[in-house]
Chains A and B, each alone.
Chain A
Amino acid sequence: MRKLKNFGTYAFLTIVSFISIFPLYWMIAASTNNSTDILGGRLLPGSHLVTNLTNLLSQQNVGRAFGNSLFYSCILSILSLLVCSIAGYGFEIYHNKAKDTLMSILLLAMMVPFAATLIPLFKLFTGLHLQSTWIAYVLPTISTPFLIMLFRQSARSFPTEIIEAARIDGLSELKIFVTIFIPTMKSTYAAAMTVTFMNAWNNYLWPKVIMMSDTSQTMPMLVANLSVGYSIDYGVLMLGVLICSLPTGILFLILQKSFANGIVGAVKG
């Protein structure tokens, strides 16, 4: 009876895993086939990877778009982690009534839909002639209530004795944060890094609006452009889709363990 029950569990998990992986496998296989084979239902990897890559590179400036996306996402993630972690730390370690009130006000920003701030932000950045610059890409999303909350929660589990001891040793408040808090909270930083980088890389609506020049095109914009038109080369398209998903995929696989641990810390609260 018990064996049978576990069999059901395994069967269910296998089916769900299969459904989860199949579209990704299909994308990878398709990027190595030509359009005819893909539409014919070929599932095995083919021999057209190099042809697809050559075609993709001749049609689109992939190097530039990929470089742009990487550059914007890295800057955004680093700034975001710095600004939000020190704020979360500040809110928790030096907390008092006024700071707690401010925190609950900032949390309200979670309810602000991006569509509502889209037009004023568009006007702001074009007014400052900052359209198509990295500043326009990163500034609206550097500080997020979610990240501040994540770091505030993790600072809660940070032992105050360590801070007291460091103060007696004569360390400045900033030095305590940089040399003690940051290294101790590696897994929180890894979780925050994963989420932030993924969001930064995936960002589509805002770049579509504000990154107007060809030279500032991002990878998701490029891939979206590939998919419209009358004669779509599916092999080339799927290769573009694959390249667009590589950085976030690799980052997740590297940080997977720390990501789970960081989320555990945050949920525990």
Chain B
Amino acid sequence: MHSKRNSLTVNQKHNLTGWIFLLPAALLIFAMNFYPMLQALFLSFQSGIGNKLSWGGLSNYARLLEDKVFWTSLINNFFYLLIQVPVMLILALILASLLNKKDLKFKGLFRTAIFLPCCTALVSYSIIFKTLFAYDGYINTILLNLGLISSRINWLGQVETAKIIIIIALIWRWTGYNMVFYLAGLQNIDESLYEAARIDGAGPIKAFFKITVPLLRPTILLTTIMSINGTLQLFDESVNLTGGGPANSTLTMSHYIYKVSFEYNPQFGYAAAMSYVIFILVALLSFIQMKVGDKR
């Protein structure tokens, strides 16, 4: 009897130790994520400028529907999402499976080279691309010298090209990062599976779709959610590469929220309402992803 009670207290002691260990992290997440999130919800029902806020009900949300700039930024984010995320993830997956080949030489060299863009600060790479694609920048100079174009192209001054440059820059910066996750996942796939597939007469493309993709599904899901989340929150590139221009054509939602909060007369309530739209989109897309990812 006595020993049983004793072991119970040891278990209780361990249980308590566990709680103490995880307490600081849990408290910080509640204080720095969940609580501000709740405050933002209240804030989104208040209207006014600066700290003079009054209850506005759903007026901020009604204003959202009318705000053309907000809709432009929302569409921009989805444009980036729909083009950049699939292209980048497919490219990363192809690169990872090529680098996973047993008989490939210079593996480490290729891997390092492709991962290297991730070492640049977000502000840094935005400025590098801005300078490279500037009107008097290197890309125009080299294209002119090669005779591929007859006059300089205003890459960042035109709506379509500015969007494409942002997408190119994003792919450049993040492909290697995602590749590392896939490379890590590929190491868990037994080489004999590919061996067996080869004996059965399956080509490398068939092996890719029948073995690599299904077995990497959890990693693909993880990188997809991370990328969607990241793309919906784009800020640095919009600010430093294009400044959101020309005519808001590259403006992202986070950039617009920043402008409404800190560049114009601060309208915190309206900004909070916009931030809730991002939150709902992120949550919704993650949820769909997880459902789809689970089913297959």
Report Cα–Cα, A140/B28, bound state, in Å: 8
Does B120 count as interface, using CB distance less than 8 angstroms? yes
A238 and B131: CB pair below 8 A? yes
Tell which of B58-66, B79-87, B270-278 binds the partner.
B270-278
Q: Determine if B121 and A223 form an interchain contact, defined as CB atoms under 8 angstroms apart.
A: yes
Closest beta carbon of chain B to A236's beta carbon, Å: 12
Alpha-carbon distance between A120 and B29 when the two chains are bound, in angstroms: 14
Chain A residues with CB under 8 Å of B1's CB are none
- Residue from A13, A118, A219 in contact with B275 in the complex, judged by beta carbons closer than 8 Å: A118
Total inter-chain residue pairs, C-beta < 8 Å: 276
Given contacts A94-B17, A209-B262, A267-B181, whether A114 and B124 have CB atoms under 8 Å apart is: no
Q: Across the two chains, which residue of chain B brings its CB closest to A90?
A: B21
Q: Chain B residues near A204: list those with CB within 8 A.
A: 122-123, 235-236, 239
Interface residues of B in 75-127 (CB under 8 A from A): 91, 95, 98-99, 101, 103-104, 109-110, 112-125, 127
Residue of A nearest to B28 (CB): A143
A154 nearest CB across to chain B (Å): 13
Q: Is the CB of B279 within 8 A of A119?
A: no
**A223 and B123: CB pair below 8 A?**
yes
User: Considering only CB atoms, which chain A residue lies closest to B42 in the complex?
Assistant: A120
CA distance A237 to B34 in the complex (A): 39
Q: Chain B's nearest CB lies how many Å from the CB of A221?
A: 8
- Interface of A, helix, strand, loop or mixed by DSSP: helix
- Does residue B24 face the partner (Cβ distance < 8 Å to A)? yes
CB contacts (< 8 Å) of B239 on chain A: these are 204, 224
Specify which of B20, B29, B232, B272 is in contact with A109 (CB 8 Å cutoff).
B29
Complex: chain B residue closest to A248, CB-CB: B119
Q: Determine whether the beta carbon of A86 is less than 8 Å from that of B233.
A: no
Measured in the bound complex, the distance between the Cα atoms of B181 and A17 in whole Å is 18
Asked if A89 meets B21 with Cβ closer than 8 Å, knowing A12-B98, A26-B138, A143-B28, the reply is yes
A-contact 0/1 string along B222-236, CB 8 Å cutoff: 100100010011011
Q: Is A264's beta carbon under 8 Å from chain B?
A: yes
B15 x A244 contact (CB < 8 A): no
Nearest-neighbour CB distance to chain B for A136, whole angstroms, equals: 11
Residues of B within 8 A of A (CB): 14-15, 17-26, 28-29, 32-37, 39-40, 43, 91, 95, 98-99, 101, 103-104, 109-110, 112-125, 127-132, 136-138, 141-142, 145, 172, 176, 180-181, 183-185, 187-188, 204, 218-219, 222, 225, 229, 232-233, 235-236, 239-240, 253-254, 257-258, 261-262, 268, 271-272, 274-276, 278-279, 282-283, 286
